[in-house]
Structure 1
Amino acid sequence: MIGRLTGILLEKNPPQLVVDVKGIGYEVDVPMSTFYNLPANGEKVTLLTHFVVREDGHFLYGFSSAAERFAFRHLIKISGIGARMALAVLSGLSVDDLAQSVARQEVGRLIKIPGIGKKTAERLLLELKGKLADALPSAALSVEDNRHDILNALLALGYNDREAAAAGNLLPAGISTSDGIRQALKVLSKS
């Protein structure tokens, strides 16, 4: 198993990198979230990795954080979700956003990712339910925030995304849904 690579970044061609580790160039596929945070070519880089051996080849996937690798490993366990699709999911959503989408069962956020249809999104939500939020406490805490319900209520009342978000940003953390809606409506009525 190859669990981590530390070496010199030789090439960056999204989504693939070449990392030189003591004279051996490892080709590593990474999600775009990792790709955007890479140093310049010629600089030292450390990636957590996941190594896959299939009959048609050996593949190495790299991640800048343990949370990304954790989410990737859970995604590829789902029937019909391969490594490429898992990378697409992690390129389209941060791990925290993915955990929140799963906790809130938001199909809409997932179907915006290229290659993810409604049925695949529903399967992802079902299979990942309870797995990501438990491992990522920051995502679990933000899921408990009632802002999402408040924003949805404002949207249902006919306010646009910008107005609802602006009113939601003025609310204190941990406010109940009903109090949040009341306060947001007061703010919106004054503008």
Structure 2
Amino acid sequence: MIHIYHIALLEDNPRQLEKLESYLAKIPNVEIVLKSKSSDHFFEQLKTIQLDILVADLDLGNDSMTGMEVAQEIKIPVFFASVNTSEYVEDIEDLKRDAEICVDHITKPFSEEQFVKSFKRFLQEVAFFSPPQYVYLDFEKTKKNRIRIDDIVYLCANKNESNNKQIHFINRKPSTLIDFSFTKMEEHGLLKSQFVTIHKS
């Protein structure tokens, strides 16, 4: 199973926004689901989007909020990319402690290599501190089995049983999923974005 991190970009400078987008495209397992130039637009779009990480500038120009204030409001892991990170060191440490989230920063100007290395390290920290996620699945002999999502390697169809599927794990033998449909897998708590679909010819 592959975990895809849903990323939001909050940057008032259009050129910097494009640069961040191009840099993040070099990093596997991330998907940009929201790009905003203002806090108002960000919070409006946030109503319909599920986020894992915010990448934000600290200074949003004439905006009514700073990037720090936005981060304090939503309390998800945040990576600041800003000119004036040194002015916010104390706030960054307070955010880490009080909100109990992963927070890191990089100071502009930075190269693509510097950003990619820093952000990959940040993702490792986020993964380490993220609580494990579980789903409850019905197997052939037992119902409502509590399964840690990260223990799932892949799912596949049974050749002769269209309603049943095979589920393979890191640490246990495969099991048969009863009345399981790939088209409705998200109803079971398995997001399609967490898996790579492979079609056999």
TM over 0.5: no
Output the TM-score relative to the length of structure 1.
Answer: 0.26
Determine which structure has the larger helix proportion and give its number: 1
Instruction: State the TM-score, normalizing by the size of structure 2.
Output: 0.25
Higher strand share: 2
Query: 1 or 2 for the larger relative contact order (CA 8 Å, sep ≥6)?
Result: 2
